[in-house]
């Protein structure tokens, strides 16, 4: 078994804002260099329901699928299949829990697993995704916290 990635951090806003920033405003914080198209102005869409798609839409209208929503429980929990930059058959699973803290901030807990189903490329894909998370989470944290204060 390949150990899931587990990432925990805090954002300066309540869970409803943290969830809405993740799912409804991903375009505002997702770096273009972490999209498939790498096109500035690409829209990131989370269709808000189980079975909904996660995809990017380029300024020219091309839709590139990244995953599928498995569980949609605003503002506390989100679970989805994730296959950005690979085939849907290579999807891994992401679960994100938004936990309210006493000071109106939120602890975000991410577990990203399912690497073993990728066989011999599982560990390398896990490592690549760790770098991917490191590339997108700082802008999410800043956007969720900054927009809350604005």
**pLDDT confidence band for 85 (50 / 70 / 90):** confident
Break the chain into its structural domains and give their ranges. 5-149
Residue 144, pLDDT > 60, answer yes
Q: Calculate what percentage of the chain has a pLDDT beyond 70.
A: 97
| CATH fold of 5-149 | Alpha-D-Glucose-1,6-Bisphosphate; Chain A, domain 4 (3.30.530)
Write down the pTM of the prediction: 0.94
What pLDDT sits at residue 77? 98
Residue 146, pLDDT > 90, answer no
Q: Which residues pair with 68 in a beta bridge?
A: 53, 81
What pLDDT sits at residue 149? 53
pLDDT 10s digits, 14-64:
999 999 999 999 999 999 999 999 999 999 999 999 999 999 999 999 999
Output b/e per residue, 7-44; b: 16+ Cβ within 10 A. eeebbbbbbebbbbbbbebbeebbeeebbbeeeeebeb
What pLDDT sits at residue 70? 98
Residue 85 DSSP SS3: coil
CB 48 within 8 Å of CB 68: no
- Across the chain, mean pLDDT equals 95
Structure tokens of 108? 């975000």
End-to-end CA distance of the chain: 44
Cα separation, 74 vs 111, whole angstroms:
17
Of 54, 99, 109, nearest to 81 by C-alpha is 54
């Amino acid at each position: 078994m390949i150990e899931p990635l587990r990432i925990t951090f805090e954002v300066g806003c309540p869970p409803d804002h943290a969830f809405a920033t993740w799912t409804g405003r991903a375009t505002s914080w997702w770096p273009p260099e972490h999209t498939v198209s790498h096109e500035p102005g690409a829209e990131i869409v989370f269709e808000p329901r189980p079975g909904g798609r996660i995809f990017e839409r380029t300024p020219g209208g091309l839709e590139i699928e990244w995953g599928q929503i498995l569980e949609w429980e605003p503002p506390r929990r989100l679970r989805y299949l994730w296959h950005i930059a690979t085939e849907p058959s290579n999807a891994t699973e992401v679960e994100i829990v938004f936990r309210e803290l006493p000071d109106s901030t939120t602890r975000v807990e991410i577990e990203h697993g399912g690497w073993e189903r990728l066989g011999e490329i599982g560990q390398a894909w896990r490592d690549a995704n760790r770098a991917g998370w490191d590339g997108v989470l700082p802008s999410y944290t800043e956007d969720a916290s900054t927009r809350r204060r604005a």
